[in-house]
Amino acid sequence: MVYWLDPFFFFTAAALLALMLRRGRLAGWILAVLMVLMLAPVGNALTWELENRMSAPDWLSGEHRVDGIILLGGDERVEIARLRGQASMITGARAQGFAALARHYPGARLFITGGGKRSPIPGTATESSISRQAVIGYGIDPARLEMEEDSLNTWDNAMHSYAQTKPEAGQTWILVTTAAHMPRALAAFKAAGWGDMIQPAPVDFRAVPPQHSWKFVVPASNLSRLHYALREYLAGIWYRLNGRAA
Provide the mean pLDDT of the chain: 91
Identify the band that residue 50 occupies on the pLDDT scale cut at 50, 70 and 90.
very high
Distance CA 73, CA 131 (A): 7
**Encoded amino acid at 162, one letter:** Y
Residue 204: predicted pLDDT:
95
Give pTM, 2 decimals: 0.89
Q: Are 174 and 101 in contact (CB under 8 A)?
A: yes
For residue 190, name the pLDDT band (cuts at 50, 70, 90).
very high
In this predicted structure, what is the pLDDT of residue 1? 44
Which region among 13-22, 36-45, 117-126 has the lowest average model confidence (pLDDT)? 117-126
Under the banding of pLDDT at 50, 70 and 90, the label for residue 34 is confident
Express each pLDDT in 168-177 by its tens digit: 999 999 999 9
Kindly tell me if the per-residue pLDDT of 196 is higher than 80: yes
Q: What is the DSSP letter of 193?
A: I
The predicted pLDDT at position 4 comes to 53
Q: Measuring CA to CA, which residue among 187, 174, 191 is closest to residue 232? A: 187
Check residue 116 and give its pLDDT. 79
Question: Comparing C-alpha atoms, which of 229, 217, 135, 224 is closest to residue 179?
Answer: 229
- Give pLDDT tens digits for 92-134: 999 999 999 999 999 999 999 999 767 778 888 999 999 999 9
What pLDDT sits at residue 65?
A: 94
pLDDT for 219 equals 76
Give which of 164, 165, 152, 154 is closest to 115, Cα–Cα. Answer: 152
Q: Which residue has the higher pLDDT, 223 or 50?
A: 50
Nearest Cα to Cα of residue 126 among 114, 109, 141, 134: 114
